[in-house]
Amino acid sequence: MRLWLELKHGLARLLRRTRDERELQDEVQHYLEQSIAERVRNGASEEDARRAVRHANGNALYMREEVRSFGWEQRVETLTSDIRYAWRRLRQTPAFTIVAVLSLALGIGANTAIFSLINATLLKPLPVERPEELAYVRSSSSSFSYPDLDELRRLNTAFSGLAAFGGITGSLRVGDETSLVVGAIVTGNFFSVLGVNAAAGRVINTDDDRTPGAHPVAVISHRLWQSRFVGSAQAVGRDVRFNGQSFTVIGVLPPGFHGAVQGQVRDIYVPMMMQAVARPPRGQYSGDMDANLLNRRANRWLTAIGRLRAGNTPEQALAQLTVISQQQERLQPANGQRISTAAVIMVKDGLGDRTQLVTVSRLLLFVVGAVLLIACVNVANLTIAQSGARRKEVAVRLALGATRHRLIRQLLTESIMLSALGATTGWVLSWSAIRAMRAAPTPEGALPITLDFSMDARVLLYTAVLAVATGILFGLMPALTSSRPQLVPALKDQGTGKSDSRAGLGGRSTLVVAQLALSVVLLVTAGLFLRSFARTQSLQAGYDTERVAFSPLRINLLRYTRAQGRTFYRQAVERIEAIPGVESASLARWAPLEGGNSIRSLLVQGIEGPPEVFSREVSDPTVLAANAVNVNTVGTRWFATMGIPIAQGRDFTVQDDSGSTAVAIVNEAFVEKHLVNAPAIGQRVSLDGPKGPWREVVGVVRNFKVTSLTEVPQPLLFLPLLQSHETGMTIFVRSRSGSTAAIENQVRSEIQSLEHNLPLSSVNAMSALVSTSLYTARAGARLLLAFALMALLLAAIGLYGVVAYTVSRRTREIGLRMALGAQPNAMMFGVVRQAATLAGVGILTGLVVALGTTRMLDAFLFGVESYDGATFATIPFLLLAVAIAASVVPARRAMRIDPIRALRAE
């Protein structure tokens, strides 16, 4: 009730100011007149009565002020008048305003951009219904098989719905174009568990997931709709070919929905029952086998996501799922193939290893935080410089009775308005930068996650809070110091002598030193990353990256049989070698630096070893068991095609086929590790245990990079394709000329004419893979350099400001000296020397801090120590040069001071 009355009266006051003001005037007037009349009635004279009443109550103005200042609306009024005043002031000093706003725009904009990145990848919840209720379910080997998950789905009560999904990569043919898409295969309840509806058409439901092979429908993402279907309204209902089979598009998803895992973008969704076509078994010819994985417990490839029922915790769910697995094992034993649940992870906690992402985010936040800090210091310095000019105004207001509190509030309003303008400009800058980044997306596979920026309400709030905090940060100190001037000298427009200016200068100098120190830290960091990148870039891959083009031939998506596969590969190589301009062509299962590897068990004849046999595909082979080796299957003359030198023995030839001796080729690292006792050529190894087949080593090749450019050479073993036929081969083409540009199109059209359902996104030179593997290092180094240069620019502006201030403060002194005969040059050098000293202190401080903190960067650097001498030695000189350059302009102004005018000025 009271609140309502407060609100009502306050609003009435605000909206009907004039009427309310007049009423107040009347009321006060009436009171005073009546008081005076009363006294007169009691015998006093008019004069005395008036005086007595004024003595008792104050005059009318004072009384009105007393009454008026009560109430919340008054604060609103003062705020609006503060804002209007601040706006006027800022417009009166355009130079100051523009420099300040730009500095803040850089600082706040950088923070907004980085935060929107963190928002999209780490913070934003999935765009689904009530994401806090969702949880992932993982097995002890991380994935589940379909039969296992189906059991859990049917028998659990902890979840109101449990859905399964798996990743698929398939060929999508829309109209005449075939390309690769990354998507997901999902159970019928997937979209209803998540609570996602289609933006057009409909999503997959349980009716689309009943009979294997009977539901060729697909749902596409918004961005796929825009890119491949050009946002056409006829997309829904259209027929496309996925992995060679006809599918109907039944719906388009809303923008922003990318799948069930944050950071992984899925562009197409098909029902689980279509698995045989959409997600054929990998590594083997799916055309030769029953491609149905839906009844095979041994194939684990699915993750589950479920919505917890109210009151159920993830721990309870985990317990229940474990019990269900145990019970089912008793009822229907599955020879140890049934796998149990290992973890129920809330979706908001994220799937997979996010520690690296978090570390990178922290680093980026630190860097942009430093940039913002430097910008703040700049604006604080500028504000202090400004306050010198306003001393008189402040003194007048204080003399008229303004409280210090009121003054500070008004000055802070100015600061916050400044930072609000900076934040708005920064937001626009950030938005444009992000648009530019979106137009030039990162190459496929360059980053472990899909880079996304999301400038939503959360980012807006962050920016707003940052703006206010920034305003207070750089505005508070100047406001506090400038609201306490010495009144009399200020009113008389006099300088207050040395003490005042020295204190101000001391404060500003400290700030500039801090700015320079921070710049040093950032520059050193950027320098280290740049050197690391340069080192990485100069590494040799070990094969011809410019002359060799590659293209994955994903025939396994099209359910080829082994016989069809052999024929296809043979024909592909023949037809491509027939292209003029092509020197040779060959095949390999894994392309170097692309990120796939086979690991198989290894036995060397004559050396004891564990008899276990295994074979699996991994993406990160760095941690290998002692008896495991990285295996690649390659065609004839692959090494020659790639330009990999043969150190001993020979390359594979057509004679190495299924009729002849089983052979293998190894690299030098393999020889060093496994074949030390005797000459390599002629030794025998087995990948299938003691029973063999034993393969004879016929060649040793030089080491080359397989996983990353910075890797330590690892043992590699190669099998000939004709003796170990596999699917999923990539073709490599060696050009006669120095580059692949001339042959790329022809290669593509030859392959496409051989099989037009094959997705061929591009035929690229191997250097593209190298470039992709360097992407993170390059982008990171460039980004850091950009921020460090921003910081340097801001610090230089800060230094310029302080030097200019010093010169203006010492105008009299300099004028006097020059009148007494000092050389103008000497004056200038004096100023520059002072600036250099300041810079020197800042640089030294920065170096010390940098030495202490760059240790944390060790994990990111390659070939460069975190205390790298070259970097630490050159940065100080660079900074000193910039500092001197920044101080030269105001210093030259010192030279040109007219002594007479200087002495006359006060």
Partner 1 sequence: MDEPSTDVIQGTLDMLILKTLSLEPMHGFGVARRIEQITRDVFKVNGGSLLVAFKRMEREGLLESEWRETENSRRAKFYNLTRAGRKRLEQERADWSRRAGAITRLLATEA
- Residues binding partner 1 (CB under 8 A): 1-2, 5-6, 9, 23, 26-28, 30-32, 34-35, 38, 56-58, 62-63, 66-67, 70-71
Classify the C-alpha dihedral 385-391-392-396 as positive or negative. Answer: positive
Q: Is residue 664 classed as helix, strand or coil in its secondary structure?
A: strand
For residue 543, give the 3-state DSSP assignment. Answer: coil
Using alpha carbons, list the distances in angstroms from residue 671 to 540, 626, 687, 688.
21, 14, 16, 19
Cα–Cα distance between 618 and 640 in angstroms, integer? 27
For partner 1, the closer CB: 27 or 132? 27
Q: Hey, how many other C-beta atoms are within 10 angstroms of the C-beta on 199?
A: 14
Smallest separation (angstroms) from partner 1 to the CB of 409: 22
Residue that the structure tokens 């089983």 belong to: 662
> What is the torsional sign of CA 816, 817, 822, 825?
negative
CB of 5 to partner 1, least distance (A): 5
Least distance between partner 1 and beta carbon 29 (Å): 10
Contact 417, 81 (CB under 8 A): no
CB of 42 vs partner 1, minimal distance in Å? 11
Give the residue with the Cβ less far from partner 1, 57 or 571: 57
Residue 37's Cα: distance from chain center in Å? 78
How far apart are CB 38 and partner 1 at their closest, in Å?
Answer: 7
Q: What are phi and psi of 705, to 5 degrees?
A: -80, 135
Evaluated on CA atoms 55, 59, 65, 67, the torsion sign reads positive
Measured CA to CA, the distance from residue 324 to residue 159 in angstroms comes to 13
CB of 77 to partner 1, least distance (A): 15
In the complex with partner 1, which residue's Cβ is closer, 27 or 393? 27
Distance from C-alpha of 867 to C-alpha of 595, rounded to nearest angstrom: 32
The type of residue at 115 is: F
Residue 316, amino acid: Q
Q: Which helix (H) or strand (E) holds 892?
A: helix 869-895
C-alpha 774/C-alpha 785 separation (Å) is: 16
Output 72 or 862, the one with its CB closest to partner 1. Answer: 72
Of residues 75 and 404, the one with the C-beta less far from partner 1 = 75
Cα 366 versus chain centre, distance: 13
Report the nearest approach of partner 1 to the CB of residue 53 (Å).
8
How far apart are alpha carbons 488 and 392 in whole angstroms? Answer: 9
SS3 424: helix
Is 35 or 143 the residue whose CB approaches partner 1 more closely? 35
Tell me how far apart the alpha carbons of residues 812 and 495 are, in angstroms, rounded to a whole number: 11
Minimum Å gap between C-beta 13 and partner 1 is 10
**Burial (0-12, 13-18, 19+ Cβ within 10 Å), 56:** exposed
The answer to whether 222 and 257 have CB atoms below 8 angstroms apart is yes
- We find the least distance from the C-beta atom of residue 82 to partner 1, in angstroms, to be 23
Nearer to partner 1, 62 or 867 (CB): 62
Query: Is residue 777 classed as helix, strand or coil in its secondary structure?
Result: helix
Cβ at position 21, least distance to partner 1 in Å: 14
Q: Sign (positive/negative) of CA torsion 369, 371, 377, 379?
A: negative
**Cα(174)–Cα(161) distance, rounded to whole angstroms?**
34
Which C-beta is closer to partner 1: that of 2 or that of 91?
A: 2
Peptide bond into 489 cis (omega under 30): no
What does the block give as tokens for 255?
Answer: 């923008």
Q: In the complex, what is the shortest distance from the CB of residue 66 to partner 1, in angstroms, rounded to a whole number?
A: 4
Q: Nearer to partner 1 by C-beta: 311 or 401?
A: 401
Residue closer to partner 1 by CB (options 29, 762) is: 29
- How many whole angstroms from its chain centre is CA 873? 31
Indicate the DSSP class of residue 644.
P
Output the smallest distance, CB 883 to partner 1, in A. Answer: 58
DSSP 68-131: HT-SHHHHHHHHHHHHHHHHHHHHH-HHHHHHHHHHHHHHHHHHHHHHHHHIIIIISPPSSSSG
CB of 1: closest distance to partner 1 in angstroms? 6
DSSP β-ladder status, 239-242 and 177-186? unpaired
- Provide the minimum distance between the beta carbon of 4 and partner 1 in the complex, in angstroms, as a whole number: 9
Q: Look at the block and give the residue holding tokens 């640089």.
A: 843
* Smallest distance, partner 1 to C-beta of residue 33, A: 8
State the nearest-atom distance from the C-beta of 28 to partner 1, in Å. Answer: 7
**Phi and psi angles of residue 144, each rounded to the nearest 5 degrees, phi first:** -115, 160
Closest approach of partner 1 to the CB of residue 410, in Å: 24
Cis check for the bond before 693: say yes or no (omega within 30 of 0): yes
Query: What does the DSSP assignment read for 369-387?
Result: HHHHHHHHHHHHHHHHHHH
Within the chain, what is the greatest distance between any pair of CA atoms? 138
Q: Is the dihedral of CA 178, 180, 182, 188 positive or negative?
A: positive
Of 4 and 753, the one with the shorter C-beta distance to partner 1 is 4
Inter-residue contact 560 to 789 (CB < 8 Å): no
Residue closer to partner 1 (CB basis): 30 or 130: 30
* Between 8 and 691, CB nearer to partner 1: 8
